């Protein structure tokens, strides 16, 4: 796709960005190959990454008519906080690779749209800088558990003190998945960027080999359900588990007292061959039975995708790569455009399906027999 077309004076006139794939094509054209490959990477053959998107196309809607959709209300709540529509920003690393202001621009965009931003442990701006950039923003923090538990404990206390509203514990990375292009490209953060939340903690002279900006073998592969109790003992923040794909683990999550689940396969970047998240969510929602909130990420590209996810029981969805594409296009303004397009498309899909508010979205809207 050509993003600009030349007029008679030879100047380029900007073309309208109509849908999320416009931003994707722009980002692919303008980011360096290594950066694009990093963001686009899936594990192994990328089957799960690709199926995250394709699975939505297998789901059909059952629209209702003559329902007076002159007013459609997209507002919802997550963990008791109202947001303007049920789409937030998933935790994604290294935003400064896509735009110089990085996570600061992302935080401002989500503040402006009044939705939830999950800041990544692997941010290229610190948790303090993110708060300063968008002081009224609604934020959660995505957490990993490290072999040195004091590292995890220290950052939990930092974000709790800064007013982050929940911890999103990522549980599907005992080891990093095999992302072939990152290996081929020998991907590393450029020297001017750092994982800012650990700035000064890891000393280069003693750190040894790095993996995605921090020393290799720092993540703790021994993490287990017992660590949920440890985390509960050091914080009062709600704990949301990200990376659940089965009813068995959903039940264990409820039993261990967490406040939410994000159905996620890490954007297809970890285990290849697992289910698309939209195909996994129904069994998890059925298992949880409303005891805790269920969210999901992976493959959201249109407003009708959001509608389908909510119809299958998601309380809110989170986007990862599309936010990066927006950043690459125009920083804060680009992320705002991506979110606004999804908001507008979601509202239109609601109206055309006969839903006047999110409470009217339910499984009767889906042709379950076709799944």
Does 170 carry a binding-site annotation?
Answer: yes
Q: Is 211 helix (H, G, I), strand (E, B) or coil?
A: strand
Q: Are 168 and 118 in contact (CB under 8 A)?
A: yes
Q: DSSP secondary structure string, 135-194?
A: TT-EEEEEE--BSSHHHHHHHHHHHHHHT---EEEE-S-SS----HHHHHHT----TT--
Does 92 carry a binding-site annotation?
Answer: yes
- Please report, to the nearest 10 degrees, the dihedral formed by the alpha carbons of residues 36, 39, 40, 44 taken in order: 120
Does 49 carry a binding-site annotation?
Answer: no
d(C-alpha 260, C-alpha 295), whole Å: 8
Does 321 carry a binding-site annotation?
Answer: yes
Alpha carbon of 259 to those of 10, 25, 80, 105, 165: distances in Å? 57, 37, 11, 29, 12
Q: Is 31 helix (H, G, I), strand (E, B) or coil?
A: coil
Backbone angles phi and psi of 368, in degrees to 5? -60, -30
Does 105 carry a binding-site annotation?
Answer: no
In angstroms, how far is CA 30 from the centroid of its own chain?
Answer: 22
Does 179 carry a binding-site annotation?
Answer: yes
Per-residue tokens: 197: 């939340």
Does 142 carry a binding-site annotation?
Answer: yes
Is residue 256 annotated as a catalytic residue, yes or no? no
d(C-alpha 144, C-alpha 173), whole Å: 8
Q: Is 219 helix (H, G, I), strand (E, B) or coil?
A: strand
The single residue of 95, 154, 256, 266 carrying the catalytic annotation is 266
The one-character DSSP state at 15 is P
Does 91 carry a binding-site annotation?
Answer: yes
Does 299 carry a binding-site annotation?
Answer: yes
CB-based contacts of 180: which residues, under 8 Å, 6+ apart?
A: 41, 44
Alpha carbon of 161 to those of 60, 79, 143, 191, 269: distances in Å? 45, 19, 15, 30, 31
Does 269 carry a binding-site annotation?
Answer: yes
CB-based contacts of 32: which residues, under 8 Å, 6+ apart?
A: none
d(C-alpha 180, C-alpha 171), whole Å: 22
Does 300 carry a binding-site annotation?
Answer: yes
Does 10 carry a binding-site annotation?
Answer: no
**Antiparallel, parallel or unpaired: β 293-297 and 76-78:** unpaired
Does 84 carry a binding-site annotation?
Answer: no
Q: Give residue 260's region: left, alpha or beta (phi > 0; psi -120 to 50).
A: beta
Q: Which helix (H) or strand (E) holds 12?
A: strand 12-14
Show which residues are catalytic. Answer: 266
Residues at the annotated binding site for glyoxylate? 38, 144, 179, 266, 269
Residues at the annotated binding site for FMN? 91-93, 120, 142, 170, 242, 264, 297-301, 320-321
Residues at the annotated binding site? 38, 91-93, 120, 142, 144, 170, 179, 242, 264, 266, 269, 297-301, 320-321
């Amino acid at each position: 796709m050509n993003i600009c077309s030349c007029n008679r004076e030879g100047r380029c006139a900007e073309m309208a960005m109509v849908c999320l794939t416009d931003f994707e094509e722009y980002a692919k054209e303008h980011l360096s190959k290594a950066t694009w490959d990093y963001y686009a990477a899936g594990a192994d053959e990328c089957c799960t990454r690709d199926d995250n998107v394709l699975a939505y196309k297998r789901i059909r809607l059952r629209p209702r008519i003559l329902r007076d959709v002159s007013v459609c209300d997209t507002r919802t709540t997550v963990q008791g906080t109202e947001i303007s529509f049920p789409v937030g920003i998933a935790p994604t690393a290294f935003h400064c690779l896509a735009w110089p202001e990085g996570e600061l621009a992302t935080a401002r965009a989500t503040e402006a749209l009044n939705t939830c931003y999950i800041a990544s442990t692997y941010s290229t701006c610190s948790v303090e800088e993110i708060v300063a950039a968008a002081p009224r923003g609604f934020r959660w923090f995505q957490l990993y558990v490290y072999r040195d538990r004091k590292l995890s404990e220290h950052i939990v206390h930092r974000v709790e003190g800064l007013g982050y509203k929940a911890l999103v514990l990522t549980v599907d990375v005992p080891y990093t998945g095999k992302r072939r292009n990152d290996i081929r490209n020998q991907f590393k953060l450029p020297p001017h960027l750092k994982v800012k939340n650990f700035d000064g903690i890891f000393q280069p002279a003693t750190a040894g080999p790095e993996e995605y900006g921090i020393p290799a073998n720092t993540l703790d592969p021994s993490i287990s359900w017992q660590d949920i109790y440890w985390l509960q003992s050091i914080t009062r923040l709600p704990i949301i588990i990200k990376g659940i794909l089965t009813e068995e683990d959903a039940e264990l999550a409820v039993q261990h007292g967490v406040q939410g689940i994000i159905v996620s396969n890490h954007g297809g970047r970890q285990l290849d061959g697992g289910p698309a998240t939209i195909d996994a969510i129904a069994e998890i929602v059925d298992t949880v039975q409303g005891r805790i909130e269920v969210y999901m990420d992976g493959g959201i590209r249109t407003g009708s995708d959001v509608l389908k996810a909510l119809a299958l029981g998601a309380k809110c969805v989170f986007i990862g790569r599309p936010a990066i594409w927006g950043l690459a296009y125009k920083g804060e303004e680009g992320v705002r455009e991506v979110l606004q397009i999804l908001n507008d498309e979601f509202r239109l899909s609601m109206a055309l399906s006969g839903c006047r508010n999110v409470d009217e979205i339910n499984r009767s809207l889906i042709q379950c027999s076709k799944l």
